[in-house]
Chain A
Amino acid sequence: MIRPRLTSIVEAVGSTPMVRLRNVAKHCPKVKIYLKLEYMNPGGSVKDRAALQMMNDAIADGRLTKDKILIDSTSGNTGVAYSIFGAALGYRVALVIPENVSQARKNVTRAFGTELIFSDPMEGSDGAIRKVREVVEAHPDKYFYPDQYANPSNPKAHYLGTGREILQQVGHELTHFVTGLGTSGTMMGVTRRLREHTRKITCIAVEPAGALHGLEGMKHMASSLVPPIYDANVPDEIMAVETEDGWDMSERLSLEEGLHVGHSSGANVAAAIRVAERIGEGCVVTIACDRGDRYFTPMRWEKHYEW
């Protein structure tokens, strides 16, 4: 199918393909595992959906105007999405990010004219959240703060988009949906949509096994500021994944499936395979949140320049 001509890059968001994993779960031949390739969005991640919905809803009701600067805390993908749509739609963007975010992330957002404000690397994403609140409180008229952790447009994007698409793509056979918790927007929105299906579809949330982890984009709820959009009653189950298992699975997805995905996608697939092993027969959908190339760390000889 050839996509129609677009009048703006924002129209390229959504309608992502789904691919069956044939090699990494060979030991579960009666379970179909599908990976929905959210990295096919124009900003390269699932965050395009929430960012665009938050911007469109705010433009529609006047919270975001050309006089204001859109500001948010984000360790990467949402920031890339805001930056692209800000440039395409003509809105200024500023981001608060922890200083230890990879150099590649910093470069990609700056390329779209976005201003970067750094927060303490020791305090992670929660430090960035606290910092953005300070900046906005100091100049409330200057900024529009979408607050992806609390904005209902975030799960709404997945209710209207991702969830609907999954039902169109595999609704007739889907038994389980698995995805990681970050802002929890994907889990909340998709699950609410899948609940409307006549058949019971089990929805499983994935979180890092510990407070100190290396699954970028995912939140360990017990030790984090819990996002206001998160409702612990929505998922049927919460599954913990070790960082190493997520990292190893993202490597295997590259080598065995030709899917170069980030660590959170690796964790999602590791969890989906665990579900497949348990059920023995069925159909599991999970999410490829972004590509792996955003996570390459600087080489040894580069590090003195980059860090």
Chain B
Amino acid sequence: MPVTVRIPTPLRTLTQGKDEVAVDAGSVRAIIDNLEKNFPGLRDRLCDEKGVRRFVNIYANDEDIRFLQNLDTILKEGESLSIVPAIAGGS
């Protein structure tokens, strides 16, 4: 069983409308690399040269990866990764 990645609405144009994507288990970095292979452009939306963009939150299960091992956080099979915008947008 792979890792489930939850994709927020603004990024679903890159994932052909999919709200969940299955990716092989591994580090967050490896998962993002993997996503980039299948959905080109996704990595650039999530990360800049310094790491995860300041306004993007990535949760390994229910914990923000900034409070774990950041991009080196390991996800095991069956676990989930959620990409959550830091804000809600709109007004």
Contacts and interface: CB of A to CB of B under 8 A. Distances in A.
A302 to B, nearest CB: 12
A262 to B, nearest CB: 10
B9 A124 contact: yes
A247 B11 contact: no
Residue of A76, A210, A214, A215 with most chain B CB atoms under a 10 A cut-off: A214
A22 B53 CA distance: 30
Interface residues of B, number: 25
Contact of B90 (A122, A124, A247): A124
A214 B90 contact: no
B91 A212 contact: no
Contact of B88 (A78, A101, A223, A224): A101
Contacts of A212: 8, 10-11, 45, 56, 85
B6 interface: yes
Interface stretch (A107-115, A125-133, A165-173): A125-133
Given A122-B9, A124-B90, A214 B55 contact: yes
A183 interface: yes
B36 to A, nearest CB: 15
B82 interface: yes
A217 B54 contact: no
Interface of A: 47, 73-78, 97-98, 100-101, 121-129, 148, 182-183, 210-220, 223-224, 243-244, 247, 263, 297, 300, 303
Given A122-B9, A127-B9, A211-B11, A77 B84 contact: no
Nearest to A181: B91
B9 A126 contact: yes
Contact of B53 (A124, A128, A129, A243): A243
Contacts of A97: 88
A73 B54 CA distance: 26
B90 A217 contact: yes
Contact of A217 (B10, B64, B91): B91
B79 interface: no
B67 A219 contact: no
Contacts of B45: 210-212
A93 B7 CA distance: 32
A149 B15 CA distance: 28
A100 B88 contact: yes
A41 to B, nearest CB: 15
B91 A124 contact: no
